[in-house]
Each structure stands twice: as structure tokens, then as C-alpha cells.
Amino acid sequence: MTDHYAVFGNPVAHSQSPRIHALFARQSGQDMRYEAILAPLDGFEQSVRGFITAGGCGANVTVPFKEAAFRLATQLTTRAKAAGAVNTLIFAEDAIVGDNTDGAGLVRDMQTNLGFSIIGKRVLLLGAGGAARGVVLPLLHEEPGSLVIANRSAGKAMKLVDSFTDDAHGILSCSEFSTLAGQSFDLVINATSAGLANAELPLPDGIFAPGCLAYEMLYGRETAFMRRAALAGARVADGLGMLVEQAAEAFYVWRGVRPDTVPVLRELRGA
């Protein structure tokens, strides 16, 4: 019997996930199908439970339902608890297991596709919302020399830092954008939504150290952050690799098979 998976979102028609998982399934010989499901804004839980009743084996979750999925799950992985959100659901006989593969996807994209090692690096994470929270623990596990979380509001950044105190080992700190002056970083990650509106972030000059990797979590567009980083001489990457790698991590969680992401990423880039 063909196993059934889906991604839930609203909107969701734009999602690349069905295409990505179809490519994964084809290359690994997995008998499965994957679809995009538009869940009503007030009907996420009902939609997921209906999918389970119909025989669904697992699901991905995208905006705006990641926190709702966190609440729906009856069991949470360590990385889901750290993220405070769920993007991957596993339907067991007596449980709905919530996981979060976003941070793992980010790290794997940097290490495998971009050849960038985080160990010992000075890392700046821009933003203190859900996207940032989802990658803090995986970044800490890579043992950077320092990790600064910067946000327009220092209070929000401080709250995020405080929630990871036990995992930080003294390398995690927070800052407002304005107080980054005089500091430079080997890795700068934009986890804000500024790129959606092509807005400039109020960042001081000099934050991109020589050889810096500037990573934009958004994909499919050149953002103001990416343009500024390129002008400063940084190496620039968008989040398409993260999208593919987090999908591969979810595929591995479901199927026990780790797909080859290189040809999939190449095909998406070509398209």
C-alpha cells in the first residue's frame, strides 16, 4: 500500500515540498505520495486528524501552523521543544510525535552544500522570532566560538537567550542592531522577515568579516540583506538549500532513508 504524506499550510499552493519529496521518493525507491493540503486558519487540528483517519503516515507543517502543531503533538523531540514549534509530524499508533527539522536543515546546508564549518566561528543571528528560535540549538551543537542574537528589541533577544542558558556554555549573548557597531562576524544569518518586504535592516558597517558567509533564510529572491552583504565582500547564500535539507531530514525521520539532496537542489536551482 502506498504511504501517504502531506504538507499543511495556509497558503500552501506555492510549496515546493511535494516536488522535493517526489524526487526523494523516486531516487530511493520509496512507495509514497505527498500532497499539499490547504488547512483553514481555524481548522488545522481538524484537518490533521482527518488526514490521520484517512491513513496518513506523517506530515510537514508550514506557516502559520507550526505553533499549532506544537500544541497538537502528544510527544515532542528535544529539538522541537527547543524550537517551540513543529514542522514535522510522525503519526504513531498511539501518539502524534512533533519534530522540528529546520535547524538541522540549516546546519547541513552550510556544512554539506556550502562547505562551511561553524566550529569556532563568530556567529551573528539576526532576529528573535520563530525562525531564529528554531535554529539556535542546532547552531550551539556545532560549537561556534560565539553566538550573538541581535534584534530591534533587546528584550525579545534577551528572552530568547535566557531560554537557552543551559545549552549555551557562555557563548550565547544578545544585542540590539544598533549596538553591533565595532563587531565583525564569520557567519551572519538573517532570520528576520525583512526580505519579504525588501526592507533594509539597520545594521552598522563592518559586521561582515573577511571570508564571511551571509546566509538569508528566505529563498527565491535577492533581498536587501543579500545585496548589502555582497557589496561588503561576503559570500552570500539563500535558504533554498535549507529548504531541501530540512525536507531530507523529515524524509529520514519518516522513512529511515537519507536521500541525496545534491541532484534535487540542482534541479530546483535550474528551475
Cα–Cα distances in angstroms (integers) from residue 126 to residues 82, 131, 238, in the given order: 18, 10, 14
Instruction: State the pTM of this model.
Output: 0.94
b/e code 52-77 from CB counts within 10 Å (16+ = b): eeeebbbbbbbeebbbbbbebbeebb
- 16 annotated among ligand-binding-site residues: yes
Largest separation between any pair of C-alpha atoms in the chain = 60
- 131 annotated among ligand-binding-site residues: yes
Cα–Cα distances in angstroms (integers) from residue 228 to residues 134, 188, 196, 224, in the given order: 25, 12, 16, 6
Is residue 153 predicted with pLDDT exceeding 90? no
- 226 annotated among ligand-binding-site residues: no
Residue that the C-alpha cell 543551559 belongs to:
166
- 242 annotated among ligand-binding-site residues: no
What is the percent of the chain where pLDDT is above 70?
99
Is residue 271 predicted with pLDDT exceeding 80? no
Residues carrying CATH 3.40.50.10860, the chain:
3-100+242-270
Residue 176 pLDDT: 94
Write the pLDDT tens digit of every residue in 210-263.
Answer: 999 999 999 989 999 999 999 999 999 999 999 999 999 999 999 999 999 999
- 17 annotated among ligand-binding-site residues: yes
Give the gyration radius of the chain's Cα atoms: 19
Q: CA 140, CA 133: separation in Å to the nearest integer?
A: 12
- 69 annotated among ligand-binding-site residues: no
Q: Is the peptide bond before 259 cis (omega within 30 degrees of 0)?
A: no
SS3 228: helix
Which CATH code, of 3.30.450.20, 3.40.50.720, 3.30.70.580, 3.40.190.10, is assigned to 103-238?
A: 3.40.50.720
Mean pLDDT is lowest, of 38-47, 92-101, 157-166, 208-217, for: 157-166
Residues carrying CATH 3.40.50.720, the chain:
103-238
- 246 annotated among ligand-binding-site residues: yes
What is the percent of the chain where pLDDT is above 90?
92
Known catalytic residues are 66
Write the pLDDT tens digit of every residue in 41-82.
Answer: 999 999 999 999 999 999 999 999 999 999 999 999 999 999
* Grid cell listed for 118: 561553524
Average pLDDT over residues 201-209: 96
Is residue 168 predicted with pLDDT exceeding 90? no
Mean pLDDT is lowest, of 23-27, 150-154, 164-168, for: 164-168
Is residue 167 predicted with pLDDT exceeding 80? no
Which CATH topology does 3-100+242-270 take?
A: Rossmann fold (3.40.50)
Residue 105 pLDDT: 98
SS3 96: strand
Closest Cα to residue 102, out of 193, 217, 216? 217
Q: CA 263, CA 52: separation in Å to the nearest integer?
A: 31
Mean pLDDT of the chain: 95
Residue 262: how many other CB atoms lie within 10 Å: 11
Among left, alpha and beta (phi > 0; psi -120 to 50; other), residue 55 is left
Is residue 1 predicted with pLDDT exceeding 90? no
